[in-house]
Amino acid sequence: MGTTTFFGTDADIARVWRWLFEMPGLRIFEDYSRPDRPNRWFDSWDDVSTCLNDGKISLAAWPEAAGGRPLAEEVVFTAETQRELGGKGRTILRSPATIKVQRNNDQNGCLASAWIACWNEKGARQRSVFAEGALDQVDWTRLRSVAGKLQRQVTKSAPAKLQSSPVMADAFERFRLGEIRLWAWGEACTYPSPLVVET
């Protein structure tokens, strides 16, 4: 699986999703549905933004030209989960050709890393749960191109990096002002830090 690690606040993460939303031929959808509800596909940035602000919605991006259309898997909740979530189950849309953008929970009061992840062909064929037929439907060159473009946008837009990981604009500004610390995988970084270099 190809993964790019970076540091971003919620505002930075929203910016990355906006870049994805604006890419031609790329669809954003709810990969894990709400209990007893259908998965939503989004044609409006306002709807995507609302989901990001909710914080409980799981989103994925799918470049249609890469093939590998997401397929539905129905999940039935246990009795305990049904009581907790107020529903009988959910639908998960899975595809080896999706791109995910996620942020770790804060670590020890510090902003932890976020990441962009998608499968590459070698990793998917070796380690994924997808059948060979599903993997054969993916245009891996097209998927790599879309994911690479997004990764370059993140790197180019970042005014700094922590070690080799880009620190996006809002995260760096808040770090520089002393509003947040960055979690360097075992070490809390405050501004200035020799681990964080402006680019």
Give the pLDDT score at 117: 96
Tokens of 146: 């879309």
pLDDT by residue, tens only, the chain of 199 residues:
678 999 999 999 999 999 999 999 999 999 999 999 999 999 999 999 999 998 889 999 999 999 999 999 999 999 999 999 999 999 999 999 999 999 888 889 999 999 999 999 999 999 999 999 999 999 999 999 999 999 999 999 999 999 999 999 999 999 999 999 999 999 999 999 999 999 9
Residues of the chain with pLDDT > 70, as a percent, come to 99
Give the pLDDT score at 55: 83
Give the pLDDT score at 176: 98
d(CA 182, CA 158): 15
d(CA 65, CA 171): 33
* pTM attached to this predicted model: 0.93
Q: pLDDT tens digit string along 71-128?
A: 999 999 999 999 999 999 999 999 999 999 998 888 899 999 999 999 999 999 999 9
Average model confidence (pLDDT) across the chain: 96
Closest CA to 157 of 168, 146, 149, 165: 168
Give the pLDDT score at 1: 64
Identify the three-state secondary structure at position 7.
strand
d(CA 193, CA 175): 10
